[in-house]
Structure 1
Amino acid sequence: MKRRQFLAGSAALIGTPALAQSTDESAAEAFQRTETVEVERDISQAVRRNISSFRSLEWQPYFDNLRNGAILVDIDSRALHYWSADGETYKLYPSSVPLTDDLTRRGRTKVTRKVEGPSWRPTPSMKKRNPEWPDYVGPGPDNPLGTHALYLSWTYYRIHGTHDTRKIGRRSSNGCIGLYNEHISELFSLAKVGTQVLLI
């Protein structure tokens, strides 16, 4: 398979809603699950850019406190807001969001893991549909997760970078929230394991 074909097909790999997990899975299965991103459709479908308001927000309507910092993802405006624990730092980033409502998860979660140079592994169902895809993509320009990833407490959900800048500001993911690589790098340096996250 040519590199360009793989990049075109894998640029969309953002994530899907969590699948039911066995409570007695092995450590190896748990590790592979956390390293896997599922994709369910071709990203080239809905690609209309966001034209809704892109404005700063106050944290108080959304969080009781700023302990460990806070991240708010507004799906409708396709924006990610970050506040530091001391309230001194506020960042606003354009983002990619899920393609459809059925792929969108809303509610409260938190950052559980931070990975610089994330790796990607296709799920068994992805390999079944796309047997030509590699079993593993390491860090680098071919990786669908970009340069950095913030893993959330929801299985398969991440806030991560993307090398495909066309996706930002669009409904273009299968569950995860994507940022420009320079923005995820900055957010990665600000957010901590334990940072609270709310998707609305």
Structure 2
Amino acid sequence: MTGRSVFTPSRRAFLAGGAALLSTPALAQTYNGPQTTRGEGDLTQGVRRNVSSFRSLDWQPYFDNLSNGAILVDITSRALHYWSADGATYKLYPSSVPLTEDLTRRGRTRVVRKIEGPDWRPTPSMLKRNPDWPPYVPPGPNNPLGTHALYLSWTYYRIHGTHDTRKIGRQSSNGCIGLYNEHISELFALAKVGTQVLLI
């Protein structure tokens, strides 16, 4: 025996520590380890996947009214919220978000066009970063915009589907917000041209 005291946790200390751990906010429990993806995720070696739980939100802190409905995209939680104009319908979808901060745009915009079966042309900056990408992709299973797209008033920015389901919940896009195809199909039916959009 060296004279050092050995700490043996009591049952009470163990339970108190466990309670403290469980009360830790979900954000602190988010796993941000490196993972890889293809396609738009080729901009970096790794992507970060959000495994925290989503929470429903009220529209009032973000919009003055629900005229034409409202879409809120929370880049941090990687979630898209939708409220109908009459407030009767609320939807919450997991989303993909821009890969890096310099590709991220925040602020107010609106839906200006809706396309089912969109085609896709990468922007000049995308082609500069990824010279092996094709200059045009027609609608179909190889199209990175998935089955539906909501075009925003910001040039090149869209809320769209994706055939690569690995991207959802990740930082994996070149600036757009991606949803599962079944979710963008549902949102496409709900949202109107003129629906207000806020990215935070």
Do the structures match in fold with TM over 0.5?
yes
Quick one: higher RCO (CA 8 Å, sep 6+), 1 or 2?
1
The alignment's TM-score, normalised by the length of structure 2, stands at 0.76
Amino acid at match of 1:57: L
Query: Cα RMSD (Å) of the superposition?
Result: 1.9
The alignment's TM-score, normalised by the length of structure 1, stands at 0.76
Task: State the aligned residue count.
Answer: 164
In structure 2, what is the equivalent of residue 168 of structure 1?
Answer: 168
**Kept after mapping to 2: 8 A contact 1:141/1:163:** yes
Deviating runs (4+, > 6 A) in structure 1?
none
Whole-angstrom CA distance in 1 between matches of 2:134 and 2:49: 31
Whole-angstrom CA distance in 2 between matches of 1:141 and 1:112: 25
**Kept after mapping to 1: 8 A contact 2:123/2:156:** no
In structure 2, what is the equivalent of residue 199 of structure 1?
Answer: 199
**Kept after mapping to 2: 8 A contact 1:46/1:99:** no
Which structure 2 residues correspond to residues 124-143 of structure 1 after superposition, within 5 A? 124=124, 126-127=126-127, 132-143=132-143
- Of the two, which has the highest radius of gyration? 2
Amino acid at match of 2:48: R
**Long gaps (5+) in structure 2:** 1-36
Q: Deviations over 1:12-54 (max 9, x none)?
A: 1xxxxxxxxxxxxxxxxxxxxxxxxxxxx72453322103341
SS at match of 2:184: helix
User: Are residues 146 and 132 of structure 1, via their aligned partners in 2, closer, same or farther at CA, if it must alter by over 3 Å?
Assistant: same
Q: Deviations over 1:133-177 (max 9, x none)?
A: 433211100101100000000111100000000000011111110
Q: CA deviation at 1:103?
A: 1.2
Which structure 2 residues correspond to residues 71-150 of structure 1 after superposition, within 5 A? 71-124=71-124, 126-127=126-127, 132-150=132-150
**Kept after mapping to 1: 8 A contact 2:152/2:158:** yes
Whole-angstrom CA distance in 2 between matches of 1:100 and 1:130: 16
Whole-angstrom CA distance in 2 between matches of 1:171 and 1:91: 21
Whole-angstrom CA distance in 2 between matches of 1:75 and 1:130: 24
User: Are residues 43 and 132 of structure 1, via their aligned partners in 2, closer, same or farther at CA, if it must alter by over 3 Å?
Assistant: closer
